[in-house]
């Protein structure tokens, strides 16, 4: 469980980066922020493309940035979108979370509500490295 101060810091980072989302097609800006075990925070926003398949979600931008920077372990990720209610990650992002941070807490953030789950709660019986004979 995260400390309140860490939760607020992570949510603020996700909301802040959401303002820089490139979402001209969906008009659905999303921001995400990852908290590493060493205390660093990495943020990402969704970046759309006219070739829709090339669009990348905020969660994956933040996760990949953290990994590229040498994040030793991901403790939590916050996802902030427009609207009052919490924003749940898509299936592709959930699969990446299973690979990179299966024990992380996921904060799904709306303007007025926040919902918390673990990656394992979001992806029960997930396909993971163990399925390939790798751990």
Catalytic residue positions, numbered: 59
Q: At what angle do helices 91-100 and 58-68 cross, to 10 degrees?
A: 20
Contact 46, 56 (CB under 8 A): yes
Q: Calculate the alpha carbon distances from 92 to 70, 89, 117 in Å.
A: 22, 8, 17
């Amino acid at each position: 469980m995260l400390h309140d101060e860490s939760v607020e810091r992570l949510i603020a980072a996700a909301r802040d980066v959401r303002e820089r989302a490139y979402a001209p097609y969906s008009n659905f800006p999303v921001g995400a922020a990852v908290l590493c075990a060493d205390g660093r925070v990495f943020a990402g926003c969704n970046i759309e493309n006219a070739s829709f398949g090339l669009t990348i979600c905020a969660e994956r931008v933040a996760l990949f940035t953290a990994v590229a920077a040498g994040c030793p372990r991901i403790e939590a990720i916050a996802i902030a979108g427009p609207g009052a209610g919490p924003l749940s990650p898509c299936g592709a992002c959930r699969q990446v979370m299973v690979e990179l941070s299966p024990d992380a807490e996921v904060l799904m953030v709306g303007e007025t509500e926040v919902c918390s789950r673990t990656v394992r709660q979001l992806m029960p019986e997930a396909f993971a490295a163990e399925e390939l004979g790798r751990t």
